[in-house]
């Protein structure tokens, strides 16, 4: 190994990246290629980037993608059963031959220029940092910000459950989430976090290579990242969100959305939630949460999730390429918040700077293409005050883009590229 890059760049240490794939082979290939490109931009030696893909019994056309990935120098592990996200990461880590930090990744990611260096530099800047994560967007043009997530607790779950039947509580939770999201989307310096999304996390070698598992396989899918964040906090290790690191996350390409989620993904979510609450919530809070859920289950459907008044319908966008167009109700700096529920308790967002009242606005094409079909709710929010100027709903009929972003192939291992 050439020692010069590491003398000039002390943050550039051998890195292990583990991608967990489930029926997303084309996206996984694009993800790995973009990561390799970023490693090259950092000045890293190809052999110091250890890339491992774990396929969770995809049983689709993934083999052709996996064969390509394997030919390009990535170690591919094929599981005969679905190990879950955490189990797959742990299996990949067992096959690691490096000793440095570890990234665990969803397959539907794409690293934008400068993203990896920002993460590596920040992780190396503080020995007390246990993990860092990037800013994420739905689209490659970085229009549609994904929402920040907060550490789940039984108390917050109680509030969310009761909010389904108490409109004033639902509005309060939505205002709080909107304020958090706007601060998150507008930040440019690294921010301390109590929760990082498990879609893309860089973990220190101390945490990743310790005696206990990095991710706990007791979680089949979901909540494994929250469990990791809880354990980091127990060890007094900090976590930071690094907005300069920009990564595309096409969001839920494996689990799906809407009705597609209401199968095995929902079953996994329920099981993981139970494990998490048993581990991190007190017995009294678990009882309270159970009571809230039983109360809601007995409520008449007409009293649940009531749609607020004053939502303007924009109709259906049925043709491919047909996008939402509207007249902006206010000027200044705005965010268009996008949610799959009319209560806006979790939103993605698009920044609009220096808008003029009455100005025509169209949903950005690159972000629109990645949206799943379904009913969406959108509102124009003042970026400073949080005042809601107008709320709309629309139905996207055209399918989401299914092709991953184009990427350059790896340099073959025989020519000095990655080794398996």
Choice between 132 and 60, residue whose per-residue pLDDT is larger = 132
Domain ranges, residue 384: 311-396
CATH number of domain containing 207: 3.90.550.10
**Lowest-confidence pick of 133-142, 147-156, 252-261, 368-377:** 252-261
> What pLDDT does 8 receive?
61
262 inside domain: no
Question: Does 259 have pLDDT greater than 70?
Answer: no
State the pLDDT confidence band at 321, using cuts at 50, 70 and 90: confident
283 inside domain: no
Whole-structure pTM value = 0.92
Task: Mark whether 76 and 219 lie in a shared domain.
Answer: yes
Distance CA 113, CA 292 (A): 46
Quote the number of domains for the chain.
2
pLDDT digits (tens, 9 = 90+) for 390-402: 999 999 999 999 9
Task: Mark whether 22 and 127 lie in a shared domain.
Answer: yes
Task: Mark whether 243 and 361 lie in a shared domain.
Answer: no
> What pLDDT does 264 receive?
78
> What pLDDT does 1 receive?
45
Question: Does 225 have pLDDT greater than 90?
Answer: yes
CATH number of domain containing 318: 2.60.40
Question: Does 302 have pLDDT greater than 90?
Answer: yes
> What pLDDT does 416 receive?
36
pLDDT digits (tens, 9 = 90+) for 61-98: 888 999 999 999 999 999 999 999 999 999 999 999 99
> What pLDDT does 254 receive?
58
Task: Mark whether 113 and 242 lie in a shared domain.
Answer: yes
């Amino acid at each position: 190994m050439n020692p010069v890059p590491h003398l000039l760049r002390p943050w550039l240490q051998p890195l292990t990246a583990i991608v967990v794939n489930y029926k997303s082979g084309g996206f996984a290939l694009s993800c790995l290629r973009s990561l390799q490109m970023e490693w090259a931009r950092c000045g890293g030696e190809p052999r110091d980037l250890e890339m491992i893909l774990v396929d969770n019994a995809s049983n689709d056309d993934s083999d052709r993608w996996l064969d390509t990935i394997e030919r390009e120098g990535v170690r591919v592990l094929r599981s005969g059963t679905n190990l879950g996200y955490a189990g797959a990461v742990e299996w990949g880590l067992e096959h690691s031959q490096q000793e440095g930090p570890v990234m665990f990744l969803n397959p539907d990611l794409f690293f934008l220029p400068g993203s990896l260096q920002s993460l590596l530099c920040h992780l190396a800047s503080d020995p007390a940092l246990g993990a860092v994560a990037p800013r994420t967007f739905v689209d490659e043009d970085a229009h549609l910000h994904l929402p920040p997530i907060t550490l789940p607790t039984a108390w917050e779950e109680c509030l969310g459950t009761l909010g389904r039947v108490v409109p004033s509580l639902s509005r309060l939770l939505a205002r709080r989430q909107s304020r958090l999201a706007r601060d998150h989307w507008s930040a440019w310096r690294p921010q301390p976090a109590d929760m990082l999304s498990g879609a893309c996390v860089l973990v220190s070698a101390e945490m990743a290579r310790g005696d206990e598992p990095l991710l706990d396989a007791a979680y089949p899918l979901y909540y494994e990242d929250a469990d990791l964040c809880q354990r980091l906090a127990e060890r007094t290790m900090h976590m930071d969100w690094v907005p300069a690191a920009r990564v595309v996350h096409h969001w839920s390409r494996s689990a799906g959305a809407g009705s597609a989620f209401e199968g095995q993904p929902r079953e996994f979510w329920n099981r993981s939630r139970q494990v998490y609450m048993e581990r991190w919530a007190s017995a009294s809070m678990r009882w309270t949460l159970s009571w809230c859920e039983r109360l809601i289950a007995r409520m008449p459907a007409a009293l649940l999730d009531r749609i607020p008044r004053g939502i303007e319908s924009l109709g259906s966008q049925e043709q491919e390429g047909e996008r939402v167009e509207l007249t902006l109700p206010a000027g200044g700096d705005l965010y268009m918040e996008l949610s799959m529920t009319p209560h806006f308790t979790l939103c993605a967002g698009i920044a609009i700077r220096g808008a003029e009242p009455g100005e025509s606005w169209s949903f950005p094409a690159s972000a629109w293409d990645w949206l799943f079909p379904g009913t969406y709710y959108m509102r124009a929010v003042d970026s400073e005050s949080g005042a809601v100027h107008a709320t709309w709903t629309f139905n996207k009929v055209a399918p989401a883009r299914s092709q991953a972003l184009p990427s350059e192939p790896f340099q073959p291992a025989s020519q000095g590229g990655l080794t398996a």
